[in-house]
Structure 1
Amino acid sequence: MKTLHKPTSRVISILNLISEHPQKFSLSNISKMLNIPKSTISPILKTLIELEIIKQHPYFLTYSIGVSAFQIGQKYLENITGIDLIKSHMVSVVKECNEICQLGICHNNEVVYITKVDCEQPVKLMSSIGKSLPLYCTALGRVFLTSFSHEEIRTLYKNGIKPLTENTVNDVEKLLKIVDNDSKRGYSEEIGEVTSDARCIAFPLKINNNILAAIGISLPIFRSDENIMESIKESLRKHSKLISLELENLDIKSLV
């Protein structure tokens, strides 16, 4: 990797920390966590506030992401080729299933959630666009692992697997068996591995047999009886095939 420009790298580290922990940290906290002197961080924070990239709580003096950062993110999403096409199908999936539908891509060996369509259920899972999670424990992520070889997966997790809940797969060899089964049946699923009370099922979006993205439904476990899951599975299977066909016909090879 090329040497990073240190001042720019510091700004990105600060923004990442604030975005992951809004209204949690003060100037002193950020300085300690990033091991950067307060005298260095203070003018960066003041500039970011002035530009409305971040904002500061008037009483607690903690920080969160500002409106300008949101606008920049929205511009990024608006320029993602094929998103509108996919989202129209996601709307249909939600109408058919009445559960949250999410779209993810693989980036730096994690799944990144790039858009979602909410449902009208009174009790529903909270999810965030832009959030990244490990491939090994998410249904969307395991979709991408089906395109990895056993050796690639073993190398990726050579230092072990960090469990997110007591249900998270914790052994690479077990993960390989799960991924092999997912590859055979054409979809991936997890129950309580990311959030102990949630379940997710996901299907690949393929272009010329290459996985471009993954589309999935997440719902609370208490609502996920097998009849409901079968209905969700059929809806996702139908729309994932339609999306893949439409993307191929439009010669869309990338979403980013």
Structure 2
Amino acid sequence: MGRLVPAVVRALDILELFLDGDGTLSTPEITKQLDLPRTTVHELVTTLAARSYLVPVPEQPGKWQLGLRTYQLGSRYADRADLATEARAVAREVAARCGETVHVGVLDGTEVVYIAKVDSSHAVRMVSAVGRRLPAHCTAVGKMMLASLPEQELAARYPAGTRLEAMTPHTLTTAEALRSDLAETRDRGTSREFCESNSDVACVAAPVRDAEGATVAAMSVSVPTLRWSEERGEELSALVAEGAMELSRRLGSR
């Protein structure tokens, strides 16, 4: 990796300040927050404004906000950041680190649709495929997505008293049991399922968020029960959370 150019780093530091608060800052405020010489900040702000990366705030003299050029760059990145493509790339990285099967799925009603999969390097692996659908209530990916829904939307999909399809003897079969499980998922930040969709597989998952912070997918790691333990589950939960965060970052999430 080559040497970082200090002036470019400082210019980027200035732009990133506008991601917080109300998105407006004055030159003195920038100077104070970055602890830089006033002259340096003035020159950098002038340069950024000349290239339309910063523009004056109407009717607020001395205040700046992000300009059209930043929007154009962001839009170009958003056009390139295809969820399935990025999901496959990150899933490969996670699978290489843990040696287990990695999925990325999205929610469609009360079902999960898998949009990316990377197989385990072990001889004993999970049989699944991109495009396959499963009930959301019995998969780690599905439960992670369901836990992110507003209560009203969740109730519409799973009214009180609803009986849920049983895939195995371990599957949650009532809306009430599912709600309890989802509450634990929210507290933990990751989801788990043990033999709920497949009697021989345990799974952990974490949320994938877009640039607006909405949960648009979930990433999971699936493990045959013969390689599962509580300690392994904790390790994989941390790993899948890192992977989901990286995929979220690629989609523009902060």
Q: One fold, TM greater than 0.5?
A: yes
Q: Which residue does the alignment assign to 2:119? A: 118
Q: Which residue does the alignment assign to 1:224? A: 228
TM-score, length of structure 2 as denominator length: 0.63
1:73-112 matches, within 5 Å, as: 81-112=82-113
Note the C-alpha offset of 1:108.
Answer: 2.9
User: Retained in 1: the 8 A contact 2:110–2:137?
Assistant: no
1:238 corresponds to which of 242, 247, 251: 242
Note the C-alpha offset of 1:195.
Answer: 0.8
Amino acid of the structure 2 residue aligned with 1:124:
R
Q: Which residue does the alignment assign to 1:5? A: none
Secondary structure of the residue aligned to 1:116 is strand
2:216 corresponds to which of 212, 215, 223: 212
Q: Which residue does the alignment assign to 1:9? A: none
1:23-34 matches, within 5 Å, as: none
Give yes or no for the alignment of 1:171 onto 2:160: no
Q: Which residue does the alignment assign to 1:24? A: none
User: Retained in 2: the 8 A contact 1:100–1:124?
Assistant: yes
Note the C-alpha offset of 1:227.
Answer: 2.6
Amino acid of the structure 1 residue aligned with 2:89:
S
1:185-196 matches, within 5 Å, as: 185-196=188-199
Secondary structure of the residue aligned to 2:138 is coil
Q: Which residue does the alignment assign to 2:156? A: 155
User: Retained in 1: the 8 A contact 2:81–2:251?
Assistant: no
Structure 2 distance, partners of 1:171, 1:108, is: 17
Note the C-alpha offset of 1:192.
Answer: 0.8
User: Retained in 2: the 8 A contact 1:205–1:213?
Assistant: yes
Structure 1 distance, partners of 2:201, 2:213, is: 30
Give yes or no for the alignment of 1:180 onto 2:183: yes
Q: Which residue does the alignment assign to 1:32? A: none
Amino acid of the structure 2 residue aligned with 1:173:
E
Amino acid of the structure 1 residue aligned with 2:186:
S
Could you tell me which runs of 5 or more consecutive residues in structure 2 were left unpaired when the two chains were aligned. Answer: 1-79
Structure 1 distance, partners of 2:82, 2:163, is: 36
Structure 2 distance, partners of 1:151, 1:166, is: 29
Q: Deviations over 1:13-43 (max 9, x none)?
A: xxxxxxxxxxxxxxxxxxxxxxxxxxxxxxx
Q: Deviations over 1:158-186 (max 9, x none)?
A: 34212111111122112111101111211
Q: Which residue does the alignment assign to 1:11? A: none
TM-score, length of structure 1 as denominator length: 0.63
Same amino acid, percent of matched pairs: 28
1:10-25 matches, within 5 Å, as: none
Instruction: Give the number of equivalent residue pairs.
Output: 172
Secondary structure of the residue aligned to 1:231 is helix
Structure 1 distance, partners of 2:245, 2:163, is: 34
Amino acid of the structure 2 residue aligned with 1:228:
R
2:206 corresponds to which of 203, 225, 232: 203
Q: How much is the aligned-residue C-alpha RMSD, in angstroms?
A: 2.0
User: Retained in 2: the 8 A contact 1:97–1:231?
Assistant: no
Secondary structure of the residue aligned to 2:252 is helix
Structure 1 distance, partners of 2:186, 2:140, is: 12
Structure 1 distance, partners of 2:137, 2:221, is: 17
**Runs of 4+ in structure 1 displaced over 6 angstroms?**
none
Amino acid of the structure 1 residue aligned with 2:97:
E
Is the deviation greater in 150-159 or in 193-202?
Answer: 150-159
Structure 1 distance, partners of 2:200, 2:187, is: 27
User: Retained in 2: the 8 A contact 1:94–1:118?
Assistant: yes
